Amino acid sequence: MSNLKPIHWQPKPGIGYSVFRRSDGGLTVSFQDLSPATVQDWYEFAAEHLLNADRLTRNLYDLRQVSEIPEAALQHAITLNTDPAARNIRLAVVVSSEQVRQRILEIAAAAAGTGADIRIFTDRTAAEAWLAEPLEELA
């Protein structure tokens, strides 16, 4: 994809996630931890990113290194997923625990029918395959 938008994200000391632009124009966000500083930084980044959302986007969130999702992170994710711009996002979430999977289900349920199209995977290859499907097959 040509003309990829800048992501306006820089790594910071003590922040436990990384972001890079996908070749399809979406983002891959990989979390190493969900400390309060990480959650706040991610929330600010994601909220700014939603403000400029002007097209359908395929994102991948890799949470395999996270063993639990704290309440603050859950509430921030619900807030972001109820933003009208979230309906333009196809989001594959890769998890390694049932506890994290259940929290992602809570996020999806809070904005059912209006938020991002969220699918949960335990295998990153399967998540990438779903994101690569033609859009008419994502429904």
Q: How far apart are CA 111 and CA 1, in angstroms?
A: 30
Band (56; pLDDT cuts 50, 70, 90): confident
Query: Which tokens sit at 14?
Result: 């003590």
- Whether 61 and 90 have beta carbons less than 8 Å apart is answered as no
Tokens of 85: 């711009």
pTM for this prediction: 0.91
The fraction of the chain above a pLDDT of 90, given in percent, is 73
pLDDT tens, 6-35?
678 899 999 999 999 999 989 999 999 999
Q: How many CB atoms lie within 10 A of CB 126?
A: 13
Calculate the CA dihedral of residues 17, 114, 25, 128 and round it to 10 degrees.
70
The domain defined by 17-137 folds into Transcription Regulator spoIIAA (3.30.750)
Look up residue 20 and give its two tokens: 């890079």
Q: Where are the domains of the chain?
A: 17-137
Q: What is the pLDDT of residues 78-95, one digit of tens each?
A: 999 999 989 889 999 999
